[in-house]
Amino acid sequence: MTRATPVSVNHRRKPARRDSRTEADSGGRPIGVFDSGIGGLTVLKALVELLPGENFVYLGDTARTPYGNKSTEVITRYSRENAEFLLAKGIKLLVVACNTSSAVALDAIASDTAVPVIGVIEPGAQAAAEVSAKGRIGVIGTEATIASGIYTRILKRLRPDAEIYTRACPLLVPLVEEGWTDNEVARRTVEHYLAGLKDSGIDTLLLGCTHYPMLRGLIQQVMGSAVRVVDSAAATARVVRASLARFKLLRSARHGEQVFFVTEMPERFTRVGRRFFGPEVESAVRIER
Amino acid sequence: MTRATPVSVNHRRKPARRDSRTEADSGGRPIGVFDSGIGGLTVLKALVELLPGENFVYLGDTARTPYGNKSTEVITRYSRENAEFLLAKGIKLLVVACNTSSAVALDAIASDTAVPVIGVIEPGAQAAAEVSAKGRIGVIGTEATIASGIYTRILKRLRPDAEIYTRACPLLVPLVEEGWTDNEVARRTVEHYLAGLKDSGIDTLLLGCTHYPMLRGLIQQVMGSAVRVVDSAAATARVVRASLARFKLLRSARHGEQVFFVTEMPERFTRVGRRFFGPEVESAVRIER
């Protein structure tokens, strides 16, 4: 395993034995986070900010990214494999930091899993439902996420008076991965995708893909300052903290560590990952898939 | 199996038994063609135009597309699996209609295979070396293809006086798959990628990815009429015909059929595939991967 940040082990009770499900101090076990690739690092960043004492194991399925243009069946199979890898690391809670997996495979993952499983859809929808003044909410995401209809269903449940407008934006993930987040191509692509939503008079736009926070500045500019742009990362972190507190699983340490696993191209992951997360993404371990 | 065009079986000797390696009329066996997804259909189109009497089995690995940002090891593994699937269909010749696979995995595929294996790199390089007046040749392709350096090596071998300029263009594949081949985003993306090549004063530009012929009009406009834009599809078809003739494997029929297999999302394949190939892409069979 690689250590991406200075390690600070919790010595208050006894030296923590990590990666063990049976240790007495179960709060010392890491939190597992997976994504189809690199986008989930925006969620990990919010988690580390809110829960700096926790240890995290992140898995990016970079060999099979993107998930957004794949079928429910295949996304579910890949998501389960990711969950199994992280469960074998002795995690105490699983965060599905991929909107596409959360949209189509969360129940399937949770049905196999003894630890709490938290996705990014419900927290994001909750945040959007709360901040929207008039209840006119736009949602953007991958083809699979938008086609699942899940955001519309959850938003209508949370806020029955809401009017929901959705748009699939397949090119935004490759744009972000190319690092084109503030050039003319990015601007015109965002304008193209958002034109219809702008005409709909939405007051809130939910970023339904973990890559999109990298384009937040541009999206906010294109939509104008009257539209609230919401992502699911901070809201998901708050749900994770509440879940850990409920199960008495919070780790009482000042610093935790993050370790990174990928299924492909660890160098590319660390290079691009630094833009998403910060310089702590020093190295990643490649696993066979 | 689906039949995408009217079937015309060769009755001159006896009813052809397809999918059989042992039949006497070995010319009746199909030609296998694979790509990481949909781009190889531009090669299949050139093959059918030049060899209308042949039967073809096409496999698009849509569940794991794109290959262009993956490692040599993973691309090789996926390519071998594709070849094995087609060989089990009793093909008489294998066309690797994916520049990325051809760039990094052709030798590995050929070493396992008893039928002739033809990639798209060498024919494309040959075509570019022949048409270039001054030997200033640009090559564009995926990250993996360009990083392999194979075009530069082959072009220097074919034409030692040549000066080769290369550029990876990761966004062009997603752009084409989104159907954005002639809008402002496509134009600016192409301009951005080609600016350096234009400044280099190339006289020939080789499209080193089977998706790029869908952007040929735009690429030609951006480069200007003095630059020859070359793709590998027609050149590959000529090499295939020569190989079949050499091994006495040409099929003497007026019409052949094409059948399509994909590893994911057959509806999407047929929808987008019609833009690449024509209305004959009526249906595709999904195989497990």
Q: Torsions phi, psi of A59, nearest 5?
A: -120, 120
ω before A66 within 30° of 0 (cis)? yes
Q: What is the spatial distance between Cα B58 and Cα A1, in angstroms, rounded to a whole number?
A: 42
Distance from CA of B1 to the nearest CA of A (A): 21
Q: Report chain B's mean pLDDT, rounded to a whole number.
A: 90
Q: What is the pLDDT of residues A17-41, one digit of tens each?
A: 444 444 445 678 999 999 999 999 9
pLDDT of B5 reads 35
Could you tell me the maximum CA-CA distance found in chain A, to the nearest angstrom?
59
Q: How far is CA A239 from the centre of its chain?
A: 13
Nearest CB among A70, A170, A264 relative to B264 is that of A70
pLDDT of A14 reads 38
Cβ B188–A192 below 8 Å, yes or no? no
- Interface mutation target, options A171, A176, A187, chain B, most CBs of B under 10 Å: A171
Helices (H), chain B: 41-50, 72-87, 99-111, 121-131, 143-148, 150-158, 172-178, 184-199, 216-223, 233-246, 266-276
Q: How far is CA A137 from the centre of its chain?
A: 20
> Is B98 among the residues known to form the active site?
yes
Task: Please tell me which residue, A146 or A9, carries the higher pLDDT value.
Answer: A146
Type and span of the H or E element at A126? helix A121-131
Cβ A71–B185 below 8 Å, yes or no? no
The partner residues of B141 in beta bridges, in order of sequence, read B168
Tell me the torsion sign for CA atoms A44, B169, B142, A78. positive
Cβ atoms B18, B256 nearer than 8 A: no
Cβ A189–B185 below 8 Å, yes or no? yes
Architecture of domain A27-119+234-286: 3-Layer(aba) Sandwich (3.40)
Output the CA–CA distances (angstroms, integers) from residue A245 to A27, A122, A239, A253, in the order listed. Answer: 10, 19, 10, 14
Q: How far is CA B37 from the centre of its chain?
A: 10
Q: What number of CA atoms fall less than 13 Å from residue B180's CA on the CB side?
A: 22
> Is A209 among the residues known to form the active site?
yes
Nearest CB among A71, A185, A268 relative to B189 is that of A185
Label residue A177 by pLDDT band (50, 70, 90). Answer: confident
Q: Please check the confidence at residue B112 and state whether its pLDDT lies above 90.
A: no
Q: Please check the confidence at residue B15 and state whether its pLDDT lies above 50.
A: no
Q: Given this chain, do its domains B27-119+234-286 and B122-231 carry the same CATH topology? A: yes
Q: Per residue, what are the HEC states of A194-237?
A: HHHHHHCCCCEEEECCCCHHHHHHHHHHHHCCCCEEEECHHHHH
Output the CA–CA distances (angstroms, integers) from residue B234 to A204, B124, B181, B285, in the order listed. Answer: 51, 9, 21, 27
Label residue B1 by pLDDT band (50, 70, 90). Answer: very low
Based on C-alpha coordinates, what's the Rg of chain A? 18
Q: What is the pLDDT of residues A125-157, one digit of tens each?
A: 999 999 999 999 999 999 999 999 999 999 999
Residue with the two structure tokens 């997603």? B174
Choose the weakest-confidence range: A20-24, A93-97, B31-35, B260-264. Answer: A20-24
pLDDT of B9 reads 31
Q: What is the spatial distance between Cα A126 and Cα B179, in angstroms, rounded to a whole number?
A: 34
Strand order in the sheet with B56-60: B117-119, B93-96, B31-35, B56-60, B258-262, B285-286
Cβ B171–A175 below 8 Å, yes or no? yes
Q: Find chain A residues with C-beta within 8 A of B177's C-beta.
A: 69, 170
pLDDT of B106 reads 96
Q: Find chain A residues with C-beta within 8 A of B63's C-beta.
A: 64, 70, 74
Q: What is the pLDDT of residues B123-179, one digit of tens each?
A: 999 999 999 999 999 999 999 999 999 999 999 999 999 999 999 999 999 999 888
Q: Find chain B residues with C-beta within 8 A of A74's C-beta.
A: 63, 264
Q: Following CA atoms B155, B156, B159, B161 in sequence, which dihedral angle do they give, to the nearest 10 degrees? A: 130
Read off the pLDDT of each residue in A178-200 and give the average, rounded to a whole number: 95
Cβ atoms A44, A269 nearer than 8 A: no
Domain coordinates in residue numbering, chain A: 27-119+234-286, 122-231
Nearest CB among A74, A170, A185 relative to B178 is that of A170
Q: Please check the confidence at residue A12 and state whether its pLDDT lies above 70.
A: no
Q: Please check the confidence at residue A99 and state whether its pLDDT lies above 90.
A: yes
Choose the weakest-confidence range: A47-61, B170-184, B193-207. Answer: B170-184
Q: Please check the confidence at residue B19 and state whether its pLDDT lies above 70.
A: no
Record the tokens describing residue A251, joined without a space.
Answer: 């780790």
Cβ A185–B185 below 8 Å, yes or no? yes
Cβ B264–A171 below 8 Å, yes or no? no
Nearest CB among B74, B184, B192 relative to A63 is that of B74
Read off the pLDDT of each residue in B182-210 and give the average, rounded to a whole number: 97
Distance from CA of B54 to the nearest CA of A (A): 32
Residue type, B133: A
- Burial grade of A25 (CB within 10 A; 0-12, 13-18, 19 or more): middle
pLDDT of B55 reads 97
**What does DSSP say about strands B228-231 and A31-35: parallel, antiparallel, or unpaired?**
unpaired
Based on C-alpha coordinates, what's the Rg of chain B? 18
- At residue B114, the 3 state secondary structure works out as coil
Q: How many CB atoms lie within 10 A of CB A197?
A: 21
Q: Torsions phi, psi of B123, nearest 5?
A: -60, -40
Q: What is the spatial distance between Cα A95 and Cα A76, in angstroms, rounded to a whole number?
A: 15
Q: What is the pLDDT of residues A234-270, one digit of tens each?
A: 999 999 999 999 999 999 899 999 999 999 989 989 9
Q: Please check the confidence at residue A7 and state whether its pLDDT lies above 70.
A: no
Label residue A288 by pLDDT band (50, 70, 90). Answer: confident
Give Cβ neighbours of residue B97 (< 8 Å, ≥ 6 apart).
B33, B34, B35, B39, B40, B43, B44, B120, B210, B236
Share of chain B above pLDDT 70, in %: 91
Give Cβ neighbours of residue B288 (< 8 Å, ≥ 6 apart).
B263
Q: Report chain A's mean pLDDT, rounded to a whole number.
A: 90
Give Cβ neighbours of residue B109 (< 8 Å, ≥ 6 apart).
B79, B80, B83, B94, B96, B101, B117
Choose the weakest-confidence range: A228-237, B21-30, B184-193. Answer: B21-30
Nearest CB among B184, B264, B268 relative to A74 is that of B264
What ipTM was estimated for this complex?
0.77
Task: Given the residues A31, A86, A93, A209, select the one marked as catalytic.
Answer: A209
Residue with the two structure tokens 């190939």? B277
Read off the pLDDT of each residue in A157-176 and give the average, rounded to a whole number: 95
Cβ A188–B192 below 8 Å, yes or no? no
Task: Please tell me which residue, B256 or B3, carries the higher pLDDT value.
Answer: B256
Cβ atoms B270, B281 nearer than 8 A: yes
Distance from CA of A37 to the nearest CA of B (A): 12
Q: Find chain B residues with C-beta within 8 A of A177's C-beta.
A: 69, 170
Q: Find chain A residues with C-beta within 8 A of B79's C-beta.
A: none
Q: Find chain B residues with C-beta within 8 A of A71's C-beta.
A: 264-265
Residue type, B43: V
The partner residues of B165 in beta bridges, in order of sequence, read B138
**Fold for domain B122-231?**
Rossmann fold (3.40.50)
Record the tokens describing residue A269, joined without a space.
Answer: 């992951």
